[in-house]
């Protein structure tokens, strides 16, 4: 299992199959309990990530026990998920990874991406 990473304000928590199921199925209570941080009010998916998370749900089914190399960033002071990011699904055969992140619209402009 991937580690939780702490920054000045954020706790970057790795995703797992149960967390992605809760997100895709819209179960905010289960998502909050599994992540240890609530979704921002009104938001479910960070921008441009719904298709990715739906794909990730099937990926976990096909790759049980593997890590997805993706994290949700929770603002520890507020207990709210503010960003999502990661390295796709780990390095390919050449050691190349794809990096991506998304910030919830209600959380933009707070400097999370540079943290």
Closest Cα partner for 101 from 85, 113, 112, 114? Answer: 85
70-74, 91-95, 107-111: which range is least confident on average? 91-95
The tokens describing 109, both together, are 């402009």
Q: Is the pLDDT of residue 108 over 90?
A: yes
As a whole number, mean pLDDT of residues 38-67 equals: 87
pTM over 0.95? The answer is: no
The domain ranges of the chain are 5-107
What integer pLDDT is reported at residue 47 of this predicted model?
Answer: 77
Q: Which residues pair with 70 in a beta bridge?
A: 86
3-state SS assignment for residue 105: helix
Helices 28-35 & 17-25 angle (0-180, nearest 10): 150
As a whole number, mean pLDDT of residues 108-115 equals: 91
What integer pLDDT is reported at residue 83 of this predicted model?
Answer: 94
């Amino acid at each position: 299992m991937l580690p939780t990473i702490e920054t000045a304000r954020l706790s970057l928590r790795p995703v797992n199959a149960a967390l992605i199921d809760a997100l895709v199925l819209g179960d905010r209570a289960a998502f909050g309990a599994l992540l240890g941080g609530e979704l921002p009010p009104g938001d479910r998916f960070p921008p441009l990530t719904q298709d990715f998370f739906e794909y990730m749900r099937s990926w976990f089914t096909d790759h049980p026990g593997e890590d997805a190399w993706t994290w949700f960033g929770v603002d520890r002071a507020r207990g709210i998920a503010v960003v999502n990011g990661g390295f796709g699904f780990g390095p390919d055969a050449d050691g190349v990874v794809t990096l991506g992140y998304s910030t919830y619209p209600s959380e933009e402009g707070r400097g999370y991406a540079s943290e």
